[in-house]
Amino acid sequence: MSSISEVPIEERLRQLALGAPRGFSERVVARYTTIPGPVGELHVAWTAIGVAAVEFAARSDEESFVAAFRRRRGRPIVPAARPLAGLAAALRSGRGAALAYDLSGLSEFERRVLGATLSIPVGEVRPYAWVAAAIDRPRAVRAVGSALGRNPVPVLIPCHRVTRSDGTIGNYGGGPALKEALLRAEGANLDELAALAAAGVHYVGSATTKIVCLPTCQQARRIAPRHRRGFGALAEAGSAGYRPCRRCRPGPGQPG
Amino acid sequence: MAVSDAEICRRLATDLDRGFVDLVAAYGRIVLTVAARASSATADAEDLAAEAFLRAYRALRGYDAARLSELQVRPWLVTIVLNVARNARRDASRRPRTDTLGGHEVAATTRDAADLAASAAARAELAGRLAALPAKQRTAVVLRHVVDLPIAEIAVVLECPEATARSHVARGLAALRAAYGGRDSKAVGLAGDGSKRRSER
């Protein structure tokens, strides 16, 4: 046996117990809330890693939303006692990049597509081919479309900002009308985009700076009308001495 | 234990997800401790514990009320975390072991930083000796003396009669004492300062 001066082994073993760390429950149990979004209310679910699911309240009631979450993620989910920090601000500003996301269960390709999409600024749109080029898979345009269609966190990761290069807005999980409403709510000039596309213009350059942009790029919108030049293809702009904008990084995506 | 196993089961049967929040609150500490101490696993104890709870949840989703009412939640959870830890150890056998359990060591009643460091070193040494025990003895000792489970539940986890579980505990304890034995009390623990504290008692 231990000597009297020594702490008994049983007592010392007891001291090997760990306390549950703060926030351990969040590692296991997801939380959700229903919150006003730019177009109607949204159900939003998150884990300790980040936002994991978003659904339009108009398309799915709370019960179906949590049931689908449990089924897909195999994780318990309960109403949040506190709102997720930064969620309301991200929805107000349209800057989803301010939040972290839990995209577990998605493929590497899908994650990269969503990562590139997250960088599209508020009120601007990019063609599907732009996303494909951004992730170094320029030929995977259709696959980009499918990956965006499976976006588990719409609105926050703005798949609505990815549109067809023919000037139409393209498909959306919640329907094209919702996509259009989201884009108009954040000030995207869809009418101008469609008019330009109808006229065969997919890139807009400034005759003074000799920089060519995608039409909704903030830089393009600043060009004074008398300096604006439209181009159907990037090569056309290139041979006219224009260089691509470093902000919107126009790529050689084909119209259509 | 603030909430009994039976009460947890009742809550799980009423509302699985809300009940599960209570289950994590009630058993998080035990599952985390078992993940860290009984496994000698390489992965982070918190990751293992979280994974164990998720597996438990996925299993519970398929249980009906009858099966839930028969469930011995605590030993069932402990069995799951032991399996998760064993799998993690097998998958990551090439990675170096991480003994650092940052932040959530239970603070011993110590008087100053030197004492704290000494007792942390002593705990690390004991954890190391524990990890060196044969699996059944190690599990039995951790369950009985670190997380204070009754012998009946340890027998469920080890899938053996209670007498056998008791003897695993006894033999594990004896081995630990022997590891420290033959040294005088001053030599106990890694740090010399630690023995000072003990001799003051």
Tens digits of residue pLDDT in A183-230:
999 999 999 999 999 999 999 999 999 999 999 999 999 999 999 999
Whether residues A91 and A154 share a domain: the answer is no
Whether A217 is catalytic: no
- Taking the model in full, what pTM does it have? 0.83
Judged on CB neighbours under 10 Å (0-12, 13-18, 19+), B61 is middle
Region B129-157: what's the mean pLDDT?
A: 94
Closest CB to B147: pick one of A6, A17, A28: A17
Residue where a domain terminates, one of A65, A98, A131: A98
Q: In this predicted structure, what is the pLDDT of residue B179?
A: 84
Q: Where residue A62 sits, what CATH number does that domain have?
A: 3.30.160
The reply to whether A78 and A180 lie within a common domain is no
Check if A104 contacts B (Cβ < 8 Å): no
In a domain, A46, yes or no: yes
Q: Which CATH fold topology does B1-95 show?
A: Rna Polymerase Sigma Factor; Chain: A (1.10.1740)
Task: Please give the Cα distance from A102 to A45 (Å, whole number).
Answer: 10
Residue A174, pLDDT score: 81
Q: What is the mean pLDDT of residues A116-120?
A: 96
Domain residues for A69?
24-98
Helix axes B113-132, B162-180, angle to 10 degrees: 130
State yes or no: pLDDT of B192 exceeds 60. Answer: no
Does A72 share its domain with A122? no
The shortest C-alpha distance from A78 to chain B (Å) reads 6
Could you say which residues from 87 to 116 on chain B have a Cβ atom under 8 Å away from some Cβ of chain A?
A: 101, 103-106, 108
Q: How far apart are CA B126 and CA A228, in angstroms?
A: 75
Give the pLDDT band of residue B184 (cuts 50, 70, 90). very low
Nearest CA in chain B to A28: B50
> Which residues does chain B have within 8 Å of residue A18's beta carbon, measured at their own beta carbons?
29, 32-33, 36-37, 45, 101, 104-106
Distance CA B172, CA A180 (A): 68
Burial of A40 (0-12, 13-18, 19+ CB in 10 A): middle
Distance of CA B81 to the CA centre of its chain: 9
The pair of structure tokens assigned to A173 is 């999980």
- Substitution target in A16, A25, A62 with the highest count of B β-carbons within 10 Å is A16
DSSP string, B45-65: HHHHHHHHHHHHHHHHTT--H
Pull the structure tokens for residue A241: 């001495």
Residue A7 sits at the chain B interface (C-beta within 8 Å): yes
Residue A69 lies inside a defined structural domain of this protein:
yes
For CATH 1.10.10.10, list the domain ranges present in chain B: 111-201
Whether the CB-CB separation of B83 and A102 falls below 8 Å is answered with: no
Task: Confirm if A69 and A84 have CB atoms less than 8 A apart.
Answer: no
- In the predicted model, is pLDDT for residue B134 greater than 60? yes
Q: Which of A62, A79, A98 is the last residue of a domain?
A: A98
B177, two tokens: 């004492």
pLDDT tens-digit map of A142-181: 999 999 999 999 999 999 999 998 888 888 888 899 999 9
Domain B111-201 maps to which CATH number in 3.40.120.10, 3.10.129.10, 1.10.10.10, 1.10.10.60? Answer: 1.10.10.10
Instruction: Tell me, yes or no, whether A128 and A74 share the same domain.
Output: no
Mean pLDDT across chain A, nearest whole number? 91
Mean pLDDT confidence for A43-68: 95
* Residue finishing a domain among A76, A98, A120: A98
Give the residue-averaged pLDDT of A28-54. Answer: 96
More confident: B189 or B162: B162
pLDDT of residue B78: 96
Tens digits of per-residue pLDDT, A88-98? 999 999 999 99
Q: What 3-state class would DSSP assign to A175? A: coil
pLDDT tens-digit series, residues B84-118: 988 887 777 655 544 444 444 444 444 566 776 77
Instruction: Say whether both A76 and A115 belong to one domain.
Output: no
Chain A residues near residue B8 by CB distance under 8 angstroms: none
User: Predicted confidence band at A2 (pLDDT cuts at 50, 70, 90)?
Assistant: very low
* Per-residue pLDDT tens digits for B51-78: 999 999 999 999 988 888 888 999 999 9
* Residue A76 included in any domain: yes
Radius of gyration of chain B (CA): 19
Bridge partners, residue A212, by sequence: A205, A244
Task: Dig out the tokens for A99 from the structure.
Answer: 């939040």
Compute the C-alpha angle A203/A209/A215, nearest 5°. Answer: 20
Whether residue A165 sits in one domain with residue A76:
no
Strand partners, B35: none
- In a domain? residue A11: no
Neighbours of A27 (CB within 10 A): 19
Complex ipTM tops 0.85: no
Do A129 and A200 fall into the same domain? yes
* Any B CB within 8 A of A28 CB: yes
Residue A5 lies in a domain: no
Cα–Cα distance, B156 to A3 (Å, whole number): 34
Looking from the CA of A61 toward its CB, the CA atoms found within 13 Å total 1
Tokens of A75: 């994780």
Domain count for chain A, please give it: 2
The answer on A138 and A235 residing in a single domain is yes
Chain B contact present for A17, CB below 8 A = yes
End-to-end CA distance of chain B: 31
The domain that holds A115 is classified in CATH as 1.10.10.10
Does the distance separating the beta carbons of B106 and A19 come in below 8 Å?
A: yes
Give the tokens for residue A116: 């590139």
Angle of helix B151-158 versus helix B162-180 axis, rounded to 10: 100
Query: Are A121 and A238 in a shared domain?
Result: yes
CB contact under 8 A, A10 and B145: yes
- Quick check: A123 pLDDT over 50? yes
In a domain, A86, yes or no: yes
CATH 1.10.1740.10 residue window(s) in chain B: 1-95
The alpha carbon of A120 is separated from its chain's Cα centroid by a whole number of angstroms, namely 8
Which long-range contacts link B48-52 to residues 24+ away (Cβ below 8 Å)? B48/B81, B48/B84, B48/B85, B48/B88, B49/A24, B49/A27, B49/B81, B50/A24, B50/A27, B50/A28, B51/B84, B51/B88, B52/B77, B52/B80, B52/B81, B52/B84
Name the more confident of B185 and A204. A204
